[in-house]
Amino acid sequence: MSFEEMWAALLPVGRDPEGGGYRRFVWTAPELECRAWFLDEARGRDLEVERDRNGNLFAWWYPDGVDRSAKGVLTGSHLDSVPGGGAFDGPLGVVSAFAAVDRLRERGARPDRPIGIGVFAEEEGARFGVACLGSRLLSGAIDPARARGLTDADGRSFAEVAAEHGIDPDTIGPDEELLGRIGCYVELHVEQGRALADPVGAASSIVPHGRWRFDFAGEGNHAGTTRLADRHDPMLAFAWMVLAARSAAERHGTVATVGKVDVTPGGVNAIPSHVAAWLDSRGPFEDVVRRTVAEVHEAARARAAAHGVTVELAEESYTEVVDFNLDLRDRVVKALGGVPVLPTGAGHDAGILAARVPTAMLFVRNPTGVSHAPSEYAEEDDCLAGVEALATVLNDLACG
């Protein structure tokens, strides 16, 4: 199938008919359909399919006569999405990978090492809360015991859900054998801001970023009969926290977002007993991100105390700055005859794998700068330029 045909095949999967974007959470029906699509595309090309012990998928091209033990060049991305996500974040890298391999084959390229296409599980962390879970497990960036215990919105554990999909939860975790077969990883991704004016660019770094959970506990009570003076309303401390996040971000040159909140019990006529809220903060340096979170916590604590409410803070994930491998980046940029190099505020599996293997990223222009939203978009010509760039890079890295 051509790039356009693959794109058309994936487009309806997990899309809200009312225009609310994609919902492809790991190991739910739409994501499983995307995985089935991946396996079909791989088998249709006679690629060797591998599923690792952490639920990540790989399709390997072993050209005739290749030394199978040579370290391979891996590309790929992810097929899961955020709630209400766009079509490009993740799938563009996977579809482009197949299309780039097709181009190499059509042109008679003779790689002297394997080329792999990877699909990493739970990149968005939309179901179990920790982004890049599959690549973190593979590379040893998360304790397997902690991963086993992560739960989804229905209270089901990662261990339980993974087991339903053929993964032995007792064996999840770092896979040195597989890592040892990966010489380098190059992920193509739609750019997620408006930082790229050319059709294709390369990544320099990913800024420090993390997720923090705030739990506000108060006292549930009647909305009509409880006097204001008698209330312990956790919503008030939560509201303060949201405003504090914005002002701390402005002061520290970071970004801070509260995009998810759970209110218990969630009745119009009930003072909540509990509010859980998630803060996402990112910035150019670790210290400003830490200061942002500390100040939000302090503001929440002060407000909570004023209302007889408690607040607890837990760090769910934190990723240090990632500077992509300089030699690999230079080689990629050179192979492409010079493209812009830019940092990003978005997390990627490439950022996690960077701790274990040389890693680079290619970005495809995003004309509106919108991402993690239904209107995320890239021009078809730019996507095809991305495919050509990826084919060029794979050819450069895998052929001699």
Least Cβ distance, residue 131 to ligand GLV (angstroms): 5
Q: Is 124 in the site for ligand GLV (CB under 6 A)?
A: yes
Q: Which is nearer to ligand GLV, 193 or 220 (CB)?
A: 193
Q: Which is nearer to ligand GLV, 96 or 395 (CB)?
A: 96
CA distance 363 to 100: 15
Q: Is 90 in the site for Mn ion (CB under 5 A)?
A: yes
Among Mn ion, ligand GLV, none, residue 129 binds (CB under 5-8 Å by kind) = none
Segments in 15-149 forming alpha helices (H): 29-44, 91-106, 133-139, 144-149
Least Cβ distance, residue 189 to Mn ion (angstroms): 6
- Hey, what are 43's tokens? 């088998």
Q: Are strands 270-271 and 221-222 parallel, antiparallel or unpaired?
A: antiparallel
- Count of residues touching ligand GLV (by CB under 6 A): 4
Give 272's DSSP letter: -
399: helix, coil or strand? coil
Work out the angle at residue 202's Cα, subtended by the Cα atoms of residues 198 and 205, and round it to the nearest 5 degrees.
130
Determine which helix (DSSP H) or strand (DSSP E) holds 369, and give its type and residue range: none
Interacting positions 191-220 with ligand GLV (CB under 6 A): none
Q: Which is nearer to Mn ion, 192 or 254 (CB)?
A: 192
Contact letters for ligand GLV, residues 331-370 (x by CB under 6 A): ---------------xx-----------------------
Q: Which is nearer to Mn ion, 92 or 244 (CB)?
A: 92
Q: Is 89 in the site for Mn ion (CB under 5 A)?
A: yes
Among ligand GLV, Mn ion, none, residue 389 binds (CB under 5-8 Å by kind) = none
Q: Say if residues 293 and 281 touch (Cβ distance below 8 Å).
A: yes
Determine which helix (DSSP H) or strand (DSSP E) holds 203, and give its type and residue range: strand 200-206
Q: Which stretch binds Mn ion (CB under 5 A): 36-44, 275-283, 298-306, 343-351?
A: 343-351
Burial label for 245, CB within 10 Å (0-12, 13-18, 19+), is buried
Q: Say if residues 56 and 174 touch (Cβ distance below 8 Å).
A: no
Give the interface with ligand GLV as residue ranges (CB under 6 A): 124, 131, 346-347
Give the interface with Mn ion as residue ranges (CB under 5 A): 89-90, 347-348
